[in-house]
């Protein structure tokens, strides 16, 4: 159990709510640091223990219920991220590191355009496609153990990765060591001060404990970046990847359906779907079909308004190392 904030060191941790994981018998609490506002999952599983939770919620790419939607999400994610980087580096080349690179589509795109690219993953299983199908250079280790040269990279990205790491502050410090002065850091994390997070709390689609060990706000992200030696140059809470779907799924969660049922059903999240009885599967599917259209309309309007007030579900930051 944690007794102080990992970012600012404050011992003022306030209990917010409890969330049950898909594995029966496990529950986790979310606390908020009264000093910096960081959300903290407690207790925090070790890296070895987390593997159990990841494997229990594994996706089966060959058994998606709605292949076109699954392909939409798989193709949308890299293009949104690639477009963000290109908006800062139009027509340029350099060295790129994608921490938590997954299937590696971002790295392949830039490699095919003469960039020198590297990726890291903590799990060899997560990067099989990137290594074996795309032929990318993926290091299976924590970035702190990779020993890259100082001021080596032009671009470093952590897309929905920082919240999974045991020590985000030290990770960003290492990124600050290996990135060039003129280089840029790209980060996306769920926005813990978003309207969705504040309204839906334990029913929020993006809370995702215990895999999400920390829950960031714009304010504490600015603080952790400053500690790591960065200054922000861009910020947004608009997300085509997760923002609107998260609003729809969070509404369905709040209405009492099986947690994240729509997402799990569409993507065939095998670890959870196979634990449901036929009766529970049918009832959840029936009410999802009935409620999803209204939730979609309300959720999209809700998230557009949230983004307008800089309170969208996903926080994306672009930062440069301080000189």
What does the pLDDT read at residue 216? 97
Beta sheet of 214-215, edge-to-edge order:
13-20, 27-33, 39-42, 214-215
- In this structure, are strands 39-42 and 27-33 parallel, antiparallel, or unpaired? antiparallel
- Is the pLDDT confidence value at 225 over 70? yes
Considering only 78-92, 119-133, 258-272, which range has the smallest mean pLDDT? 258-272
Phi and psi at 46, nearest 5°, equal: -70, 170
* Nearest alpha-carbon partner for 65 in 310, 285, 292: 285
Range 13-92+142-321: architecture per CATH: 3-Layer(aba) Sandwich (3.40)
Over range 112-134, report the average pLDDT: 89
- Is the pLDDT confidence value at 50 over 80? no
For the chain, the domains span: 13-92+142-321
What does the pLDDT read at residue 314? 98
59 — pLDDT class (breaks 50, 70, 90)? very low
Phi and psi at 278, nearest 5°, equal: -60, -35
What does the pLDDT read at residue 271? 58
What does the pLDDT read at residue 64? 46
235 — pLDDT class (breaks 50, 70, 90)? very high
Asked whether the whole model's pTM tops 0.85, one would answer: yes
- Give the percent of the chain with pLDDT over 70: 88
């Amino acid at each position: 159990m944690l007794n102080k904030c990992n970012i600012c060191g404050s011992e003022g941790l306030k209990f917010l709510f409890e969330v049950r994981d898909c594995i029966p018998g496990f529950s986790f609490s979310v606390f908020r640091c009264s000093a910096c506002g960081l959300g903290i999952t407690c207790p925090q599983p070790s890296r070895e223990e987390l593997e159990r939770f990841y494997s229990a919620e594994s996706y089966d790419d060959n058994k998606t219920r709605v292949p076109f939607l699954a392909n939409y999400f798989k193709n949308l994610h890299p293009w949104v991220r690639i477009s963000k980087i290109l908006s800062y580096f139009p027509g340029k080349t350099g060295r790129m590191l994608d921490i938590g690179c997954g299937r590696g589509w971002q790295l392949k795109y830039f490699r095919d355009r003469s960039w020198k690219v590297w990726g890291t993953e903590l799990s060899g299983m997560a990067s099989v496609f990137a290594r074996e199908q795309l032929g990318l250079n993926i290091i299976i280790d924590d970035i702190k153990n990779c020993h890259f040269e100082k001021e080596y990279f032009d671009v470093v990205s952590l897309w929905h990765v920082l919240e999974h790491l045991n020590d985000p502050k030290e990770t960003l410090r290492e990124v600050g060591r290996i990135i060039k002065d003129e280089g840029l850091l790209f980060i996306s994390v769920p926005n813990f001060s978003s309207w969705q997070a504040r309204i839906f709390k334990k029913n929020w689609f993006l809370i995702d404990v215990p895999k999400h060990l920390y829950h960031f706000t714009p304010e504490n992200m600015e603080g952790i970046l400053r500690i790591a030696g960065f200054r922000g140059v861009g910020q947004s809470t608009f997300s085509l990847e997760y923002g609107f779907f998260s609003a729809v799924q969070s509404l369905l969660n709040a209405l009492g359906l099986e947690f994240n049922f729509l997402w799990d059903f569409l993507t065939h999240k095998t670890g959870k779907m196979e634990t449901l009885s036929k009766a529970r599967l049918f009832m959840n599917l029936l009410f999802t079909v009935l409620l999803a259209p209204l939730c979609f309309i309300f959720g999209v309007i809700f998230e557009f308004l949230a983004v307008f007030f800089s309170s969208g579900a996903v926080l994306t930051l672009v930062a440069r190392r301080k000189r």
